[in-house]
Each structure stands twice: as structure tokens, then as C-alpha cells.
Amino acid sequence: MKSPSQTNAIDFDNAKLQRLGFGQKPPVLERPFSLAQLRQQLGQQLQTSLEPQRILGLFFREIQRVVPLDALTYKHTASDLRLELGQRGHHSVTYSLVHEDENLGDLIFRRNQRFSEYEQASLESLLPTLLFPIRNALLYRAATQSALRDPLTGTGNRIAMDQTLQREIEMSRRHLMPLSLLMLDIDHFKNVNDNYGHSAGDDVLKAVAASIKNQLRNVDMVFRFGGEEFLILLSNTNREAAAMVGERLRFAAQAQDYKADGNLVELTVSLGCSTLLPGESAESLLRRADSALYVAKREGRNRLQMAG
């Protein structure tokens, strides 16, 4: 049986709440905690964090004083953010949060019992307390991601790479899991810039970055190492599996059509691969992958070279 659901757009219009008859007590059940008190409390608590998960966790916990819930899901497509709290129920009500034409995401409340009109009105009364906390959290998240991303390709930048690589090495040692690294370079990329211009070169870089992402798992990470070089970090991946990933990336890049000023451009990539050794530093792991890439380019390009 399909789960019943309802969808509402919330633009924080208090007049709407008045039209719903909000402010009247429910006909049967008395609440031990007034909505006015809860709104005031949430207004203070939710402003204390810039982390979406913490803000929504506090909101989810506190609103159950007046509306029992089994789960809360938050989705903000523009920032690729999705958070789920609690266990899913058979009934749901969805609210699209909008403020001055700015989409702040969707909230889905779930539980196993239907929502009454009074409960929906209660939820709508409390949603405005999320307005500024969520908006500030989204702005902070965007600024943080921007500081760690290459603006052209959307991959991680060198700062993000340094932080992530060190963290992954520590996790690899703590959990005794393999860790591998691929260094990828676009062959003869200078010819693209020289023949078609830097704008065409930028388009090629974005296309190659997209091709890499499409071939990887969600847990794998891609960084722009510099120029036309990309670094791919493969967690829990041994030497043999990393070689298979590298070959997959090489074939995918070669099979893709690249265009510059309407002209078809044939491109290939070369890769160097290294797998973390016991006690090895991040610098050594990078150096071995870079040396392997150098060998791949020296020996004809369009190939994968494994580090010794």
C-alpha cells in the first residue's frame, strides 16, 4: 500500500497560521508545553550552531514536545545536502521552505499515525524558527565548500587534498585497510590551449573531471592537483583494485567526445598509481604516484603505470 503523504509550501506567512485557526487549543488533548514557549526556546537554541545536522537534530527533538514524530528528513538539492533522523513511518507531511523566493530545502515529517490539522498547524507555526539558522548554515556550508573546491572543475583543491590525504592515511592505519592513490594527467593538454584557446581548455578540464567522477564510488575523492593533473584517492582499495579503477578511468576518458569550437578533439590520459606502504608518509605516497605517472608519460602516454 502506498504511503500517504501531503506536501505544503511554507513561506513563513503568519497570516496563514491565523487563517488555520492557530492559537486555539486542540479539542481533546492538552499539551504540557505551549507552542509560544517552544517557539521562543527554539529561536534561542537553533542560533547556537552552523551545522545543519545539529540544528535539525535539536529541532527534531524539541518539536516532539507538541507533535510526536518518528522521523525527519531534510533535503537541499542545490547544495547536495540530505539528512535523515529517526525511523521512517507510513504517513508523511512535506514542507518546502521558501523565504523571499530563496529555496531553503524540504522537510519531511514521518510517523505511523496520520497527522491531524491541528498538528500540521503546530508544525507550520514552528517552522519559521528554522529560517535564519538553516539559511546561515547553508551559507556557511557553501563558503566552506568553496574554500576547499577548485572553482573550475568542482573537484577538491590542494588544501582539501592535504587535509583529506592525511586523514585517510590515519584511518587506513587505524582500521588496517588498504589505501591507494591515482595521479592522472591529460596527455598533450597544451595543444588544446594553443590550438583552440584557454576557454576550450577549461571546457576539456571540466569534461575530464566529470568523466572521472562518473567512474568512481561515492567514497572515492577527486582533487585537482594542478594544471591538467588530478589526484584520485581510493579508500579501502588495494593495489590490484586500484589498477582496475585506473584502467577504467583511462578507457572512459579516451571514449568520451571532447569539442572545441565545434571541432572534435581526441584526448587520452596517463596515470600513475601508488598504494600506501607500512609507515609511509603522505609525501612519499604522493611522490611514488607522481614518479609512476612520469614513467607512463615517458613511455608513450595513454597508459597506467604502477609504482614499485
Phi, psi of 126 (to 5 degrees): -90, -20
CA 42 – CA 175 distance, rounded (Å) = 40
Q: Facing residues of 8 across strands?
A: 95
Strand 304-306 relative to strand 269-275: parallel, antiparallel, unpaired? parallel
Just list the catalytic residues. 228
CA-wise closest residue to 178 among 290, 247, 278, 272: 278
CA 237 – CA 64 distance, rounded (Å) = 43
Cell digits of residue 27: 479539542
Asked if 10 contacts 100 with a C-beta cutoff of 8 angstroms, the reply is: no
Q: Give the burial class of 146: count Cβ atoms within 10 A of its Cβ; 0-12 exposed, 13-18 middle, 19 or more buried.
A: exposed
Q: Which of left, alpha, beta for 236 (phi over 0: left; psi -120 to 50: alpha)?
A: left
Helix, strand, or coil (residue 109)? strand
